[in-house]
Structure 1
Amino acid sequence: MTSDDSARQGQGQARTIETHAVLAPERAEAVLDLLAEAARHDGQQAVSEQGRLQLRGGRRTGVSHLLLTVGDGELVGYAQLEDTDPVEAPAAELVVHPAHRGRGHGRALGSALLATSGKRLRVWAHGGHAAARHLAQVLGLTLFRELRQMRRPLTGLDLPDPVLPPGVSVRTFVPGQDESAWLAVNAAAFAHHPEQGSLTERDLADREAEPWFDPAGFFLAERAGTVVGFHWTKVHAEEQLGEVYVVGVAPDAQGGGLGRSLTTIGLRHLAAQSIPTAMLYVDADNKAAVTVYERLGFTTYETDLMYRTET
């Protein structure tokens, strides 16, 4: 546990930051409530889907939870630190309750993250808001990654028929059968990607247990019985938003248009459910993927930024 008892709030409340390897269920629910309140205020989540999943289900290797409380234990801030990448610095996300901002809590959490990580840190700023950019500057972090959210309308969707490479067929994912094959092709397709390529059996099981999971929108491309590509779609029911959740193609199957065809198949699936809009995330420096998505009618909607300590 680390604390900053000298940090006083407007009404004399002490600020305390505790670090936990695992959160009890009631603590995890309190953090999720905090995240939901911040999302309602900000219009987007401050902690990624992966981070929210890691709040539940017990201990996660390399994951730490920092809880910032004031007074008699009121939870007003949260940060998550994930130190699982063998090469990159630990990655973090943080949030402060909207009613408690402007009091130094964000800086306190950021400083605690720096101390916990040994001053090797990467931090996401979802939406790239001015306050987050200012906090990154105060903490001495520099921008190094830009993740774009792109969107396109699905109403009246008019895309050319998908043309699959010779010998390739597409079917939907079968829970209890296809997990190992999907994990293998996902790891190969995203060997260069620190988050997506490292997904584990537990990570996949977490997602299969979520209410939004629908195997009918999870498409696998096969050649000679081997999975060589996939398009996993997701529906955000409350927002009436369809997502190109992830598209991947095995290295030896790339370059033949399979990724574009799988994307089209998934978009048609979403449009058939009367979902009005589709969205996706793509790294800004992945010029090839950005070009493909732009040709499919996507345009940039907002941007997430990642900052890091100097290396």
Structure 2
Amino acid sequence: MSAEPPAHLVEVTDRLSAAVVAEVGALLATALAADGVRPVSEESELRLAHGGPAGGGDLTARDAAGSLVGYARLERPAGDPEAEAELVVAPAARRRGVGAALLGRLEELAGERPLRVWAHGELPGSAELARGRGYERARVLLQMRRPLDGVDPDPHPRLPVGVTVSTFRPGTDEDAWLRVNARAFAHHPEQGSWTARDLALREAEDWFDPAGFFLAWREETTGPRLLGSHWTKVHPAGEVGDAPVGEVYVLGIDPDAQGTGLGRTLTDLGLAHLRARGLSHVLLYVEEDNNAAVALYRRSGFTRHMVDVSWQRPTSR
């Protein structure tokens, strides 16, 4: 039997055509069905559909017959010393050198920058590929879950004096939310850098529901001030489980309001909302080395479900 022909890589530095985006979407759906894990992040899916900042690009791998067998997304933000990527190989084309070919091209494009590559679900093949090329585990993101059957459907939150909670008003609350998000996640490598466009893209998604987006305001002499928020999300059946699953999507408290119990209050409101929608489980993501947050979530009934791993190419290469 002849050897499998090498994959042919095509680099796109701006935007893929609508036809190729549809091909990639089908590949991602096939990988999800086979692995039970979303193969790339929400951010990469949004940039695939809408484009991303300068420096990024999409890579496609095709076999000799022209069929799409792999996809990768590369980010090289201006002013950022590191490059970051995600890749996926069609289940029927695995262990034929496609992943290695994509990763090799990503390394070439990253140049002298340290390259980090996310592996969602830490599937055996991804870990084998990364270790085989000398990559090291650099960051681990835990997905934790808990059932919602024990959640109080009417939590009667205890709010600090002068604080009220309302739901998000599209077209009105964006600037206030972005300011608090940047302050709450000032040291987070992705969340804290969200822009108005990042928020607008998510508001345009089918899953966006302002009724599940809770904002805590305090009345001050200069007007209402946003102190924190809990943005919930609902994943449809088949995306992260056989049934729909809720998510603690973004929970952020302004540093000036931390320690007031507002985070727990907003959490309870969001979980009650998800239970009222008839969901049985909720998930969240947290850095594995954030011991305080992991311990807090465990006390709240969350347990480890799966991990995403960021593999880093040694800088000496």
Asked if TM exceeds 0.5, the reply is yes
What runs of 5+ residues in structure 2 fail to find an aligned partner?
A: 238-242
Residue 24, structure 1, aligned to residue 17, structure 2: yes
Aligned to 2:268: 264
Distance 1:55 1:80 in 2: 8
Using the TM superposition, name which of 160-169 and 133-142 deviates more: 160-169
Return 151-160 or 283-292, whichever deviates more: 151-160
Alignment of 1:181-200 (within 5 A): 181-200=176-195
Superposition pairs for residues 112-191 of structure 1, below 5 Å? 112-119=105-112, 120-158=114-152, 161-191=156-186
Aligned-pair identity in percent equals 50
1:193 to partner: Cα distance: 0.8
Indicate which of 73, 80, 96 corresponds to 2:89. 96
Amino acid at match of 1:193: H
Equivalent-residue separation in structure 1 for 2:61 and 2:139 (angstroms): 27
Q: Is contact 2:6–2:97 with CA below 8 Å preserved after alignment?
A: no
More displaced 10-residue stretch of structure 1: 86-95 or 62-71: 86-95
Scaled by the length of structure 1, the TM-score of the pair is 0.93
Equivalent position amino acid for 2:126 in 1: A
Q: Which residue of 1 aligns with 2:240?
A: none
Distance in 1, matches of 2:250 and 2:207, equals 15
Residue identity matched to 1:66: L
For 1:109-131, what per-residue CA distance to the aligned partner results, in whole angstroms no more than 9, with x for missing partners?
A: 11111111015201111111221
Match of 1:215 among 187, 210, 213: 210
In structure 2, the partner of 1:79 is 72
1:53/1:186 CA distance change after superposition, 3 Å: same
Secondary structure in structure 1 of the residue aligned to 2:95: coil
Which residue in 2 is equivalent to 1:232? 231
* Kept in 1: contact 2:146–2:303 (CA 8 A): yes
More displaced stretch, 95-104 vs 279-288: 279-288
Whether contact under 8 Å (1:217, 1:233) holds in the other structure is yes
Aligned CA RMSD, in angstroms, stands at 1.7
**C-alpha separation between the residues in 1 aligned to 2:164 and 2:289?**
31
Shift of 1:76: 0.3
1:309 is aligned to 2:317: no
Q: CA deviation at 1:287?
A: 1.6
Q: Are positions 1:36 and 2:29 aligned together? A: yes
| Mapping for residues 219-298 of structure 1, pairs under 5 Å | 219-224=214-219, 225-238=224-237, 239-298=243-302
Return the alpha-carbon distance in structure 2 between the equivalents of residues 45 and 76 of structure 1: 17
Aligned residue number for residue 4 of structure 1:
none
Q: Is the CA contact (8 Å cut-off) linking 2:183 and 2:192 kept in structure 1?
A: yes
Partners of 2:2 and 2:25 in 1: CA distance: 26
| 1:255 Cα offset (Å) | 1.7
Match of 1:13, as an amino acid? P
Say if 1:111 and 1:139, in contact at 8 Å, map to a contact too: no
Quote the offset at 1:158 in angstroms: 4.0
1:28 positional shift: 1.0
TM-score computed with the length of structure 2 as normaliser: 0.91
Q: What is the CA deviation profile of residues 74-129 of structure 1, one whole-angstrom value per residue up to 9, with x for unaligned ones? A: 11000101122744511110000000001011111111111110152011111112
1:128-183 Cα offsets, whole Å, 9 max, x none, are: 12211111112221101111100011124249653223322111000011111111
Who is 2:100 aligned against? 107
Helix, strand or coil: the match of 1:102?
coil
Count of residue correspondences: 303
Counterpart-to-counterpart distance in 2, 1:189 and 1:197: 7
* Alpha-carbon spacing, 1:59–1:304, altered in 2? closer, same or farther (3 Å): closer
What letter matches 1:186 in structure 2?
N
Amino acid at match of 1:142: E
* Equivalent AA in structure 2 for residue 242 of structure 1: G
- Counterpart residue type for residue 151 of structure 1: R
1:56-71 matches, within 5 Å, as: 56-58=49-51, 60-71=53-64
SS at match of 1:122: strand
d(CA) in 1 for partners of 2:35, 2:279: 24
| Structure 1 residues 16 and 296: alpha-carbon distance in aligned structure 2, compared to 1, 3 A threshold | same
CA distance in 1, matches of 2:59, 2:232: 32
Q: Tell me how far 1:12 sits from its aligned partner.
A: 5.3
